[in-house]
Amino acid sequence: MLLALDIGNTTVAVGVFEGTELRKDWKVRTDREKTADEYGIVLLELLRSCGLEPASITGVIIASVVPPLTPVFQTLSRDMFGLKALVVGPGLRTGMPILYENPLEVGADRIVASVAAFEKHGGPSIVVDFGTATTFDAVTEKGEYFGGAIAPGIQISAEALYLKTAKLPRIEIAKPRKAIGRTTVTSMQSGLYFGYIGLVTNIITELKKELGQKAKVISTGGFAALIVPEVKAIDCHEPYLVLEGLRIIYDRNREERKSG
């Protein structure tokens, strides 16, 4: 079985694959202060909760946008499973040419999601990942990573209003009943919710102008459920897109090692 780890700024997505099937997945809160042993205890409990033991894991692959945690999970893989984890980055075959001016600047999760989107839906395509930041990634018809856009996530936007103003409260992000708020809270919710829909819709429109109007738009990420139903430009939602991309990349590298 394959253990796929997507280390994000807010959560670590954990997936266990049996062949091409995602057998189980979890979300663990990202904590930069935790050690490999502490994460290992959590992971062991999660695996055993669905009847799995460490010996059942035969491969580990990691995508990380939190550099201090990458070696922590590499150590976990070695100590807990006796395996050298594959880490998405330079030297690992993704099967997707990167057309960014500096390919090293592209977050691993963006590449992994783009690989999965092209594998499942072809190109051209646009991936919208609603995470801590909201990222927009363009994939060409030939399956090349073309570039994209990065915007503050909706949670970051809400926190900025609270932290950078003297009188505005911290609020729950929710769809208000009306656009015209009659209280401070509903006014803030209106601005955040409808404003964010406009942000997402407009960026997709601009990307399509450059990439091609026939581009398919795929969404993923933890905050997608709140926004996606209101964005008509999004064609489909793939909640496990990054985990599936990790499985695809792992398989490609395993096949390459076998042929080598």
CB 4 within 8 A of CB 21: no
Q: Cα–Cα distance between 220 and 240 in angstroms, integer?
A: 7
3-state secondary structure 112-160: HHHHHHHHHHCCCEEEEEECCEEEEEEECCCCCEEEEEEEECHHHHHHH
Strand order of the sheet with strand 125-130? 145-152, 133-139, 125-130, 216-220, 236-237
Residue 235: active-site member? no
Q: Is the peptide bond before 124 cis (omega within 30 degrees of 0)?
A: yes
Type of residue numbered 25: D
Burial of residue 150 (CB within 10 Å: 0-12, 13-18, 19+) is middle
The crossing angle, in degrees rounded to 10, of helices 241-259 and 108-121 is 90
CB 88 within 8 A of CB 107: no
Report the largest interatomic distance among the alpha carbons of the chain, rounded to a whole angstrom. Answer: 66
Given the residues 6, 31, 79, 109, the one annotated as active site: 109
Q: Cα–Cα distance between 147 and 193 in angstroms, integer?
A: 26
Q: Cα–Cα distance between 40 and 197 in angstroms, integer?
A: 39
Point out the residues that are catalytic. Answer: 109
